Structure 1
């Protein structure tokens, strides 16, 4: 009987010592992209004040206009709410405004920045990157037409005459 109990404990001990279980551990990464417009630059004005402004066009450089967080490669796109900037019944075609993207103070490593993109009601790619980043900055320059393109768009009694549209920036994973 003692041999049997000893043998049973030995067997249990042997089984306990060699017992193994496995666990599958997964690291599941979901894409995250955020795009924030600098709150101090939510309104951009292109002011035509002098003859030279109408002749040469004007621009507004917005340093660090966009802040990007992306877990991987991405594209930043822009579009106008309308094909034209509106002031009542009068319009200025959106495609007469150019948008230029460039590296901000915390640039995206290896990003490609579009130059002189014409505004459109269709999304147009401004920035393309194969890598992600945290709090990366993109500067945007808006440039209005020269060559007296807006000469006949002033409306008497409005000082200033304002044509407006909403721009939408979008970030998508790539």
Structure 2
């Protein structure tokens, strides 16, 4: 009994000491959790894009329009940007023009210092084609896009007076960003 009392006193003493002890430090685990983002924004002031044939030289040489800072990219890590047409042809109520007559050409914009990005001109089609391929991500990276269409009289027979002041041939162009 004396041993049990002694053991009980010893255990109570340890419990009492631990209850009176003060903690001077403690720890927390801090996690910085990065989630993938890929965002592409088309400059709203550059919608729609019009390729206007207004002179004989336009029909001979073709036309193009350059849109500075047309695409704005945000990506955590490497990415690709593809372009595709919603249709195989640009159409109006009377006629059509092949989407493949249109060339999309990307170049670096004003806030673009991506090293190692590959920029490739592509003809438009319904199959997505890679125009920008970057092994690194970027914040607020702008790309200029030049839209070009054929010359050599390719569209001389695509206008009719029944169409009014001008004949509009239309398709939807979609840009898509994806993580690498």
Aligned to 1:36: 41
Check 1:114–1:12 CA distance in 2 against 1; reply closer, same or farther (3 A cut).
farther
SS state at 1:52 partner: helix
Aligned to 1:153: 158
Q: Quick check: 1:164 aligned with 2:170?
A: yes
Aligned to 2:69: 64
Report if aligned partners of 1:108, 1:137 keep a CA contact under 8 Å in 2: no
- Superposition pairs of residues 21-170 of structure 1, within 5 angstroms: 26-110=31-115, 111-115=117-121, 117-157=122-162, 158-170=164-176
TM-score of the pair, normalised by structure 2: 0.84
Report if aligned partners of 1:108, 1:129 keep a CA contact under 8 Å in 2: no
Question: What is the alpha-carbon distance in structure 2 between the residues aligned to residue 138 and residue 120 of structure 1?
Answer: 20
Unpaired segments ≥5 residues, structure 1: none
Larger radius of gyration: 2
* Worse-matched range after superposition: 5-14 or 80-89: 5-14
Give how far 1:6 is off: 6.2
Unpaired segments ≥5 residues, structure 2: none
**Which of 165, 170, 179 is the matching residue for 1:173?**
179
* Worse-matched range after superposition: 135-144 or 154-163: 154-163
**Which of 9, 17, 20 is the matching residue for 2:13?**
9
Question: What is the alpha-carbon distance in structure 2 between the residues aligned to residue 137 and residue 54 of structure 1?
Answer: 31
Question: What is the alpha-carbon distance in structure 1 between the residues aligned to residue 13 and residue 107 of structure 2?
Answer: 75
Question: What is the alpha-carbon distance in structure 2 between the residues aligned to residue 137 and residue 53 of structure 1?
Answer: 29
RMSD (CA atoms): 2.8
